[in-house]
Amino acid sequence: MDIGVRGALWGVLLAALPLMTQEAIALEHPHLALTADQIERARSRMASEPWAAQQAEEIVEEAEDALGAELPVFERDWWRDGAKDADWGAIYPEVNLHTGSVPRPPATDAWNLALAYALTGRPDLGREAVRILEHFADTYTFEIEHYDVGLNTAIWGIPLLHTLDVVWPLVPEDSRQALRGWFLEMGEHVLAHDKEWVAHGWGGAFNNHYAWHKRLLAELGLFYGRPEWVEYAIRSPMGVADLLENGLRDGGLWLESSSNYHFTTLYALAPMAQVMRNAGHPLDLFTHRFRGGAVLEQLFTGPLKIARPDRTLVPVGDCYGRTVSLPAVFLYEMGYAAYRSPELGWVVTEGRERGLGGHVGLTRLLYGADEVTSRPPDPESQVLREHGWALLRGRDAHGRYWDSDALALFATWDVFGIHANHDALSFQLFGKGRPLLIDAEATASGHAFSSDVQRELNRHTVCHNTVMVDQSNQRPNHELLTLEKVDSASGTQTVVVSDPDGILYEGVRQRRQVTLTEAGITDRFEVESGEEHTYDYLLHYPAGSTVQVNVPMEPIEMDWAPAARWLRNARHGEATGAVEATIDVGGVALGLTVAAEPGTEVLVADFPSSADHRAEPSRMIVIRRRTSSTVFESVHRIP
């Protein structure tokens, strides 16, 4: 259907339906996800804006697909018959299934139905949402105990609470009472769980789980008149104040050692701020400045510091083979509406120009600003000393960084923190509009965090562009390694990082100097020990790359476990001089030269992009030497 015609039809439909007027949706409790004004504004947009009409049509279609759907049985025999006495680490997949994967889809359906009801006034959609709510209250029990139960419960419990908020006029009085008891039991369960996290320190201080526990408790407190839960969510240990005052690094990046997990925290706190504002709570979580000047806005602007030219983030730490594109992060619509920052508007504008729907379009429909002022962020290189990250940003032939072929070099000397990989002294390279040298990870179905490939491979040092010693993982470093020097002026840029005390590998001192130029990078990696070791200089190229090396190769078995069992098509050969390689990365021909040294072995292998090996693999080059000390000197040329 033509998008303009769709908008006109929505106007007619909205005029004809028994619309939810201000009086009709006036509730007996605070509004949470939506207010009457937000609903009216969304309906007005649907009637006048083609993109909004299309978005609403998608919402209604999803809701109609959920009508009459069979609802799941929430099994508990597996827990009662033995799992409750099992080691929690061993039952991650089962817990994730029964407290996450099973309840989440019907909770999502319920919220879609409630949204469609709010936007169209169709009572059949609202009544179906009530049916799902009643099913949960009648059959879902809060008896399972595990590290992840609080997070899992919050993720689907919040949309169910929002559903009840919107369809309240259709809920019978006896169901309202049953749901009150059930939701308060949910709150007590997560509250006890959160206190256990604090007492035992599970997951480390300021873990993203705390944000989700606190969000659920705050919203339940607002809805059911439990102000002590709201206060607990804000002011208790590991509450919102504690998280923002102590969890930010370098002016806005989350402290966890994963770029993707930055958003796990923001996905909890930003909607919580919107709910508190909708509910009329006196604390405006969007704008309140906590101790040290910490403010939620910093979590929106922080990721811009590690954005590559195409607006994607450098994937570092646990990313499960996924890369964040900032315009696809729906929260930026909410963030721009709250702060009107031109830099956030730059993200939002790109998402709108791409015509992004889904969560992005929905958030724009419900909360987005009508007009957006846009300005690109500062394109200068970033040295993030608190996190232990540096992003050296080059320029293209026209002096541009954003939306250009410019190079971007990322280096890390971070602590081994929450969701870290064994990736110290590693680097990644982006240029010509694509990743060129990557952190290699394999995706996994199901609960990726507890998957075999995550445990055995994705976190291993072998996945990163660093030096691996004796085919073993680096030891965790609980303090930053040494940043010896950084020159981030335009033109040639250099970062020097080191492990002079042998923290990563006992008795092995390491030092890396990597320089970004207009033509590529030069890398000098020194390793020194009083004993002989096997040193592997590791390089990883994206899926679909092809590798040609000037060394005769023959198959070899990788006999070190467990990481090597995931590699395929391994070949090796002895180098008699400098190693020369050509790597084709999506049509970009990279050149590699590694200076000659006697006893150099070259290995090439396929690295899995997915745990089932069905996806096109990435490629790995290894320069191996058996000695006590050596220097890997390499030049990486980009045309």
pLDDT averaged per 10 residues in sequence order, the chain, 639 residues: 44 41 43 94 97 97 97 96 92 94 98 97 97 98 96 98 96 97 98 97 96 98 97 98 98 96 97 97 98 98 98 97 97 98 98 95 98 97 97 96 98 97 98 98 92 94 98 97 91 95 98 96 98 98 98 92 92 98 97 97 97 97 98 97
SS3 state of residue 591: strand
pLDDT score of 177: 97
Report pLDDT for 9.
Answer: 41
Contact by Cβ (8 Å): 217, 194 = yes
CB 424 within 8 A of CB 416: yes
Strands (E), 130-287: 248-249, 253-254
616/61 Cα distance (integer angstroms): 34
Fold topology of 382-637: Beta-galactosidase; Chain A, domain 5 (2.70.98)
* Amino acid at residue number 500: P
Q: What is the pLDDT of residue 28?
A: 54
> CA–CA separation, 508 vs 627, rounded Å?
12
Q: Which residue shows structure tokens 């009637």?
A: 47
What is the Cα–Cα distance from 10 to 16, expressed in whole angstroms? 10
- Read off the tokens for 267: 């996905």
The per-residue pLDDT for 490 is 67
pLDDT value of residue 187: 98
Residue 408 phi/psi, 5-degree rounding, is: -140, 125
Note whether 580 and 586 are within 8 A (CB). Answer: no
Interaxial angle between packed helices 358-367 and 342-353, expressed in degrees from 0 to 180 and rounded to the nearest 10: 120
CA distance 612 to 382: 37
DSSP-derived 3-state class of residue 260: coil
CB 568 within 8 A of CB 604: no
What is the model's pLDDT at position 236? 98
Half-sphere exposure of 509 (CA within 13 A, CB side): 6
Fold matches, 3-202 and 382-637: no
pLDDT at 30: 58
What is the pLDDT, as a whole number, of residue 19? Answer: 39
Would you say 271 and 319 are in contact if contact means Cβ atoms under 8 Å apart? no
CA dist., res. 315 & res. 306, Å (int): 9
Cβ(151)–Cβ(49) below 8 Å: no
CA distance 98 to 104: 10
Domain boundaries, the chain: 3-202, 382-637
Task: Please tell me the pTM assigned to this model.
Answer: 0.94
pLDDT of residue 234: 98
Spatial separation of the C-alpha atoms in residues 452 and 500, rounded to whole Å? 33
The side-by-side arrangement of strands in the sheet containing 427-431 is: 382-384, 389-393, 408-412, 427-431, 434-437
pLDDT of residue 10: 46
CATH architecture of 3-202: Alpha/alpha barrel (1.50)
Contact 163, 110 (CB under 8 A): yes
- Residue 144 CA, chain-centre distance (Å), reads 26
Neighbours of 220 (CB within 10 A): 25
